[in-house]
A and B are shown apart, each in its own frame.
Chain A
Amino acid sequence: MESQRVRPNADPPVTYTQEAILEGFKAIPELLARDAALIARGRWLDVDCLLGPTTQPFHVAIRAGQIVDMTPAPVLMRSWRFAYRATPAAFAAYWQAMPPAGWHDLLALTKRGQASLEGDLHPFMAHLQYFKDLLALPRQSGFGGAS
């Protein structure tokens, strides 16, 4: 075998602070409110789900594609339909302007064991691009700088 280049294995690939990840996640509702195209993509979506870092997930209520409530978990007896939780390292990498390979997609993160997907996945799969773009919103606001 002749190999021209082998990808280095960087794990975790970027530096971050827990506070920066939380602040990045908390900014998502406002970033979404400014993104008319993404709201339009989710116009048929009503769901209560659990999203965020494994260290501090949030109950997220979405109505007609808009986040109408986002509250840190746990909330006593609050239910959710599905959960997507990723390690803070995963969000830090996912939010880079040029995310490192293998850290650049929600399902790449589940494949590499950096994120978990649980519950009734129907709303997630039926609106898959919406959720990919929603959770990528901190990327466009310059989170973390260059990777």
Chain B
Amino acid sequence: MSGFIEPIVGRYVHVEIDGEINRIYFEENGSGIPLVCLHTAGSDARQWRHLLADEEFTKNFRVIAFDMPWHGKSNPPDSQYGGEYRLTSASYTATIRAFCKALKLERPVVMGCSIGGRIVLNLAIEHAREFRALIGLESADFQQPWYDTAWLNRPDIHGGEVCAALVSGLIAPNGPEASRNETLWGYKQGGPGIFKGDLYFYRVDGDLRGRTSAIDVGQCPLYLLTGEYDFSCTPEDTLRTAAGIPGARVTVMERLGHFPMSENPAQFRRYIVPVLQDIIDKQNS
């Protein structure tokens, strides 16, 4: 309907990360338990727009999604233009914690996808007490590389086209065409070298094998959900990871791939509803 205004509100918050103020763009809707959503590598928080606009969720959760620095409408920090961007476990963890602190969120739930799914495992290892629950989508302690990231940022290949074409295969076939196109559009719009820089964390710096056994779900519940068509972080990767974490809840999602919240929002909803309800039930018990 022409003229319809969505309930999502976007604003900027100034966040000090590693001694420098970053101007972080975030969108939010709802009230209640803070639920912070982390986008995938090389994209931005628009991936979460369906969750942000869902009345069923926003009546119980303050849903918040932010663009990481260098992504979407969050520019690089002033001092770092011209340098090579590389996300690390330390910088990613610091960014999430600083963002939550800047918004004064009290023990938020954090839900991340892909690199966001990996970093929630690190949050569970190092900072579990700060969070009410953690949700990892397409999450594993490690997964086998399947291409050379050098192809992502070179002058003789269009970065947006190659990034989108690579990840297109991670979307489950026969989902909604518009949602597939929108998911890929985010990759076509990423800054030069940003997807590659995010994958430095994913491939090199963020290997959590051997560390996840330290996760105590009694301190902070952990939910892991992976799409059956994700051949990057496969269901087997997630199941292997969860097998080493007593009490972790695992779901393999049918007809979904690496971008469940944006590639097929209705199908994803079927799987995330019981997880969010479980968090509410725990809060009320």
Contacts and interface: CB of A to CB of B under 8 A. Distances in A.
Interface string A12-35: 000000000000000000000000
Interface in A1-50: 1-7
Interface in B131-185: 144, 146-147, 151, 156-158, 161-162, 164-166, 168-170, 172-174
B144 A128 contact: no
B250 A3 contact: yes
Contacts of A128: 161-162, 165-166
A6 B235 contact: yes
A108 B169 contact: yes
Interface residues of A, number: 27
Contact of B173 (A3, A98, A110): A98
A107 B252 contact: no
Nearest to A108: B231
Contacts of A125: 151, 157, 162
B156 A7 contact: no
B157 A132 contact: no
B184 to A, nearest CB: 9
Nearest to B170: A105
Contacts of A132: 165, 168-169
B228 interface: yes
Interface of B: 144, 146-147, 151, 156-158, 161-162, 164-166, 168-170, 172-174, 228-229, 231, 234-236, 239, 242-243, 245-252, 254
Chain A to chain B: the 3 pairs with minimum beta-carbon distance, closest first: A105-B169, A128-B165, A129-B165
16 contacts: A1-B246, A1-B247, A2-B250, A3-B251, A5-B252, A5-B254, A6-B235, A7-B236, A105-B231, A108-B146, A125-B162, A126-B156, A126-B157, A128-B162, A129-B168, A132-B165
